[in-house]
Amino acid sequence: MTSTEVLLQVRDLVKHFPIMRGTLIQRQVGAVRAVDGVSFDVFHGETLGLVGESGCGKSTTGRAILQLYRPTSGSVIFEGVDLVGLKGEDLRKMRRRMQMIFQDPYASLNPRMTVGQIIGEPLIIHGIADRKEAQERAEELLRLVGLNPAYTNRYPHEFSGGQRQRVGVARALALQPAFIVCDEPISALDVSVQAQVVNLLEDLQAQMGLTYLFIAHDLSMVRHISNRIAVMYLGVVVELADRHELYNHPLHPYTQALLSAVPIPDPVIEARRQRIILKGDVPSPINPPSGCRFRTRCPLADTICAEQRPEFREVAPGHWVACHMV
């Protein structure tokens, strides 16, 4: 199912949010370095999991790829086109190929529009359908995501969280994109419906050959949906590997710590599991540590870690890591 054909190439992606001060004359006094040099490829038809603690820059990475935030620097090459410089009509055309599913199903649907209008809007914007055709397509899409097609004239507040998330999925699918950024699509849902939404996303992927960047804040969530997993810490990707490789041979101390927190279903192994408790808090992305971002909390940190930023390199085929000690 997955190929080695690259769909999306992210290179040295940087997104800094300037911090402005002053009332009349504004000047920049610093920046939130939300994403600070991230590189990875996404292959056709795969799911790349992107994992990290809250605030480490996962959403910003996803939005910068989709050009919802314009990157500070770096390149995002999608189907051979660099999106970073793209504007106006060219960018709008590319939007048909890549969509997003949002974290909060309560905030991601316009409360004043019916579900039919929400799902049909992309078709009208891109001139693919008129009002009536958009309505019909919305009904088809509702059916596709497992909702009753008669719901098109309903408003979002009449639905449960899981149903709303399905509506969000239907909207993302309306333009028949190739690539979807799923930004923690199940984190805000009840545990009982999380599996349903994940199954839906997997079914749709199989049916339509979709490629996902699946963002989650803990490893257990992405474990079974991802083919490969990238681990982020404070604006950088510290490790990226095939999911089996990552689970069985985590190389970066941060990945090891994260994995040690994931419960193991086997009671014998679970009893022997040793949790690595990280000391301290995540530093501020406004003033991140020099050298390796993780050094303030790393059990293996050495002097070189403060002086040099570890290079993100391929230590085994397809296994990338950024650590001086590996």
Ligand X SMILES: Nc1ncnc2c1ncn2[C@@H]1O[C@H](COP(=O)(O)OP(=O)(O)O)[C@@H](O)[C@H]1O
Residues of this chain that bind ligand SF4 (CB under 6 A): 252-253, 292, 294-295, 298, 300-301, 305, 310, 323-325
56 binds, among other proteins, ligand SF4, ligand X, none (CB under 5 to 8 A by kind): ligand X
Closest to ligand X by CB, 156 or 285: 285
Contact positions toward ligand X, by CB under 6 A? 17, 32, 34, 52, 54-60, 285
Edge-to-edge strand list for the sheet holding 319-321: 98-101, 179-183, 211-216, 47-51, 228-233, 236-242, 319-321, 313-316
Q: Which residues contact 23 (CB under 8 A, 6 or more apart)?
A: none
Closest to ligand X by CB, 210 or 215: 215
> Whole-number minimum distance, CB 55 to Mg ion, in Å?
8
Contact positions toward other proteins, by CB under 8 A? 24, 63, 66, 68, 92, 95-96, 99-100, 102-104, 106-114, 121-122, 125-126, 140, 143-144, 146, 148, 150-151, 153-158, 160, 168, 171, 174-175, 195-196, 199-200, 203, 207
Q: What is the β-pairing status of strands 211-216 and 47-51?
A: parallel
Q: What is the β-pairing status of strands 228-233 and 47-51?
A: parallel
323 binds, among ligand X, other proteins, ligand SF4, none (CB under 5 to 8 A by kind): ligand SF4
Say which residue the tokens 């020099």 belong to.
290
- Triad 306, 316, 321: Cα angle to 5°: 25
DSSP symbols for 156-202? GGGS-HHHHHHHHHHHHHTT--SEEEEESTTTTS-HHHHHHHHHHHH
Helix count (H) and strand count (E) of the chain?
11, 12
Q: Which long-range contacts (CB under 8 A, 24 or more apart) does 220-224 make?
A: 220/262, 220/263, 221/186, 221/187, 221/194, 222/49, 222/50, 222/51, 223/49, 223/247, 223/262, 224/198
57 binds, among ligand SF4, ligand X, Mg ion, none (CB under 5 to 8 A by kind): ligand X
310 binds, among other proteins, ligand X, ligand SF4, none (CB under 5 to 8 A by kind): ligand SF4
* Of 35, 1, 46, residue with least CA distance to 226: 46
68 binds, among ligand X, ligand SF4, other proteins, none (CB under 5 to 8 A by kind): other proteins
121 binds, among ligand X, other proteins, ligand SF4, none (CB under 5 to 8 A by kind): other proteins
DSSP, res 267: H
Q: How many residues does the chain have?
A: 326
Closest to ligand X by CB, 55 or 289: 55
55 binds, among other proteins, ligand SF4, ligand X, none (CB under 5 to 8 A by kind): ligand X
58 binds, among other proteins, ligand SF4, ligand X, none (CB under 5 to 8 A by kind): ligand X
DSSP, res 71: -
When binding is defined by CB under 5 A, the residue of 7, 10, 13, 59 that contacts Mg ion is: 59
Question: What tokens does 19 get?
Answer: 């911090």
Closest to other proteins by CB, 2 or 26: 26
Distance CA 210, CA 198 (A): 14
Closest to Mg ion by CB, 115 or 181: 181
> Whole-number minimum distance, CB 321 to ligand SF4, in Å?
9
Closest to ligand X by CB, 17 or 247: 17
Closest to other proteins by CB, 68 or 264: 68
Chain positions contacting Mg ion, by CB under 5 A: 59
